[in-house]
A and B are shown apart, each in its own frame.
Chain A
């Protein structure tokens, strides 16, 4: 299959390259031919005009020569014309022949020049186009699954080398993007497979059991409901994550302190239900450029994590402020904290410290990955300080907006 497709492409390639090569060669030789024709033509014209307009024999300096020569050249045979007239005819004949020869030579030379320039043009065009041929043949060989290849043109640092290098850089970026996309899809499908397996096994087993009673079906239905809830939470977060992977979301100058205070208010009830004290200390006028919905999501994810890991009687503290360049928002909990290894993994997609209970609560394992993604999409970052047994502090840093 592949060789066939390849040869088809090759024919197309040579045809295309051939046509541009022909055009270049023709253009080159026509230009050269035109120039040469103009030069040769004008030489010929000016020469012929010079020769016919002013016959040498009428020049006063040579008329003596004609008179002197007259007796010697007297023809007894009897040419009735005077000697001057015959000399002029001779001179005209000489001029005509010289012009004839000049014309023949010129035409031959111009024709030869045309053919020669065609050959040189063809050769030079081929030489110039060869790297382009290489670039396009490599580009063709690179399919979406093998983006690891590069053109690596080499040679002198010219326009084509520049083009090939640009192309290589683009391939590098595409490679990274495709690879991360592929990994994400793979991870997402693994995550969806588990609840699907639960669903399928429960339905298969209860449907195949002729003795199953209402309670069995009810139990299977409950399990199916849980699996479905897990899948929809996962799909929601996957969509959210995919959405924020694009960088074209809404951007406007916003006051982050408003977002922080409003989000804290949203979580007030949840915190007091869990017996967790929610404190905050938020400076005013924290201007950043960003998407208020996304920022709210960041804070909500951090806050729900903090409240979840806190024991009843614990405390979650939210602070926000700014320095000369950055606005920061910080969520501090006095939960169990994270070991240094877990601190590295905590922002990874689908990482859950407590898989089983996370699943029951319908958590996708994408929360902190989304936080980091949004922070980075806003030109900021998220940092984590954590000590086992003391608690964790997550801080979001965003570039401060300065109205100019």
Chain B
């Protein structure tokens, strides 16, 4: 899940980006509206956290522009972050196309919960827990289990698995993974995707368990249900 974080307060952006990365999201940042719009045009973000009061284009304008000329693929969810708390401002924010609204100052945990909630509003999924075959992933507590075995994953592996589990059985290309699991700092020419997928695959299956991630040569990877035990 890739998130674009937009605010003109660099100190705020840094802290939230760090927190969200620890929660297993790929996070890009922008310090003003123009930069945000440019990044959102090129990258299919899953979620954009958007401040309203910014120099240049403000949050309302960025939001309106994104809704009027949506980037290709699935439209990003938009969460407005703002110091303005009047009812009129909230209504205006929601009316220009925001999905949710959070007033500053906020507890980071609340932001994280809203981000989770917005990102799981995908068709067919409503809870915080993803299940594919014997795999069980809790997006709130970050617990991952295969059958009864607890898996110990890094933040990046967790993000990768969550992405696979939200598209069970689908072939996911390396570009998809770079777009949604890695952030703007990833070098597309390294083998970081291949390496992380390999590590995740090994952690998912121990001693004789069937492999859950298939490599489809020439097109990408696929998560399969596999057997629970052997």
Contact = CB atoms under 8 A, between A and B. Distances in A.
B19 A204 contact: yes
Central interface residue in A189, A204, A356, by most chain B CB within 10 Å = A204
B31 interface: yes
| Contact residues on B (Cβ < 8 Å of other chain), bracket | 20 to 34
A153 to B, nearest CB: 34
Interface stretch (B100-108, B129-137, B181-189): B100-108
A38 B124 CA distance: 100
B33 to A, nearest CB: 12
B228 interface: no
Interface centre among B12, B16, B22, B53 (most CB of A within 10 A): B12
A194 B9 CA distance: 8
A60 interface: no
A223 B108 CA distance: 16
Contact of A208 (B12, B19, B53, B84): B19
Contact of A200 (B8, B10, B107): B107
Contacts of A196: 104-105
Contacts of A201: 12, 15-16, 19, 105-106, 108, 111
Nearest to A355: B55
B122 interface: no
Interface residues of A, number: 26
Given A205-B18, A223-B15, A356 B8 contact: yes
Contacts of B107: 200, 204
Most B CB atoms within 10 A — which of A191, A196, A201, A356? A201
Contacts of B19: 201, 204-205, 208-209
A197 B104 contact: yes
A355 B83 contact: no
A96 interface: no
Contacts of B31: 356
Nearest to B20: A205
A81 B16 CA distance: 133
B86 interface: yes
Q: Which of B8, B31, B83, B107 has the most CB of A within 10 A?
A: B83
A313 B108 CA distance: 46
B55 A190 contact: no
A200 B11 contact: no
A355 to B, nearest CB: 5
B109 interface: yes
Contacts of A209: 18-19, 22
Interface in A340-355: 354-355
Interface in B72-125: 81, 83-84, 86, 103-109, 111
A205 B111 CA distance: 11
Given A198-B11, A201-B106, 15 more contacts: A193-B104, A193-B105, A194-B83, A197-B106, A198-B15, A200-B106, A200-B108, A204-B15, A205-B16, A205-B22, A206-B15, A220-B15, A226-B11, A356-B8, A356-B10
